[in-house]
């Protein structure tokens, strides 16, 4: 006797669209054919797919970070801090996703990676132009890295524009000045192609904000958003460094960098130094 009591039927949704002959589909909107055909392995090794996908996903997240950072810079410059806060909060959440990506990549063992590493040639994450643009947006300007992108004149010109533009911290410091907090003219009119260096007037301005939270609530919140972003970025850098060390030890990077040695060195850089220093002085 046939028992139908355990049969499970998928409920039919009467309003679901099934005719897409003349309508745009989900896959077409997201251009999934192009996106999902972009993982082209150079070897036959199974784990190269993992390596490619992790880096492509990270680049997509970085694209969104740049989208949010650029808009937040514009908002802060215009005095619309509340709108910028939403964008900066989103950046911090995105950063957590990239950090977790390193956990997935760390499942790649040294023995597995060495099987296809030579196929990468000199290609390296060190050459990620979006990562450089994020550094530029946060005030870390390294002119010598522009040499890497001479192969693509259009991209090089784009990077030069970002290299010369004021960053997130620059517009934040200008926001301090706009409410009457004294900031040295050398800071307000600084050369944006140079990496930001800590300044006493900026530190004193942030101290004033943090000592008078009720009076400067928006600037106080801005300072904490900046701290969030740097905190997560340093955790991202740390997980990157430890993942590289776990997979290749202290070998030179494929792009010619010192690998783990270079990644450890950049961990010492601070993007918003005064915001960290005032914590000791409050």
Q: Which domains does the chain have, with CATH numbers?
A: 1-38 (no CATH), 45-281 (1.20.58.480)
Give me the mean pLDDT over the 152-175 stretch: 97
- Tell whether residue 117 is among the known ligand binding residues: yes
Per-residue pLDDT band at 233 (split at 50, 70, 90): very high
Tell me: is residue 240 an annotated ligand-binding position: yes
According to the model, what pLDDT value does residue 5 have? 52
Q: 254 among the known binding-site residues?
A: yes
Q: Is 144 annotated as a binding residue?
A: no
The response to whether 99 counts as a known ligand-binding position is no
116 is an annotated ligand-binding site residue: no
- Cα–Cα distance between 162 and 149 in angstroms, integer? 14
Please say if the pLDDT value at position 24 is more than 80: yes
Residue 163 annotated as binding site: no
Q: What's the pLDDT at 126?
A: 84
Distance CA 82, CA 72 (A): 10
User: How much is the pLDDT for 252?
Assistant: 77
- Report pLDDT digits (tens) over 235-262: 999 999 999 999 989 887 777 777 888 8
The 10s digit of each residue's pLDDT in 180-199 is 999 999 999 999 999 999 99
Q: Is 52 annotated as a binding residue?
A: yes
Q: In this predicted structure, what is the pLDDT of residue 254?
A: 75
């Amino acid at each position: 006797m046939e028992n139908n009591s355990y049969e499970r039927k998928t409920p039919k949704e009467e309003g679901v669209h099934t005719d897409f002959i003349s309508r745009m589909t989900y896959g077409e909107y997201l251009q999934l054919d192009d996106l999902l055909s972009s993982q082209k392995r150079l070897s036959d090794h199974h784990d190269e797919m993992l390596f490619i996908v992790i880096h492509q996903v990270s680049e997509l997240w970085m694209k969104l970070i740049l989208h949010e950072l650029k808009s937040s810079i514009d908002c802060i410059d215009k005095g619309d801090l509340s709108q910028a806060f939403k964008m900066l909060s989103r950046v911090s959440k995105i950063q957590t996703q990239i950090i977790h990506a390193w956990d997935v990549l760390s499942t790649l063992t040294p023995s597995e990676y060495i099987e296809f590493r030579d196929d990468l040639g000199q290609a390296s994450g060190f050459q990620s132009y979006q990562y450089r643009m994020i550094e530029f947006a946060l005030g870390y300007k390294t002119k010598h890295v522009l040499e890497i992108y001479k192969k693509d004149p259009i991209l090089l010109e784009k990077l030069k524009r970002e290299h010369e533009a004021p960053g997130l911290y620059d517009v934040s410091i200008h926001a301090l000045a706009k409410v009457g907090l004294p900031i040295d003219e050398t800071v307000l009119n600084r050369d944006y192609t140079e990496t930001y260096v800590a300044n006493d007037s900026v530190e004193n301005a942030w101290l004033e904000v943090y000592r008078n939270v009720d009076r400067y609530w928006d600037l106080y919140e801005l300072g904490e958003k900046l701290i969030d972003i740097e905190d997560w970025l340093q955790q991202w850098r740390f997980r990157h460094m430890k993942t590289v060390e776990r997979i290749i030890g202290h070998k030179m990077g494929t792009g010619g960098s010192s690998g783990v040695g270079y990644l450890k060195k950049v961990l010492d850089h601070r993007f918003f130094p005064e915001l960290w220093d005032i914590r000791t002085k409050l």
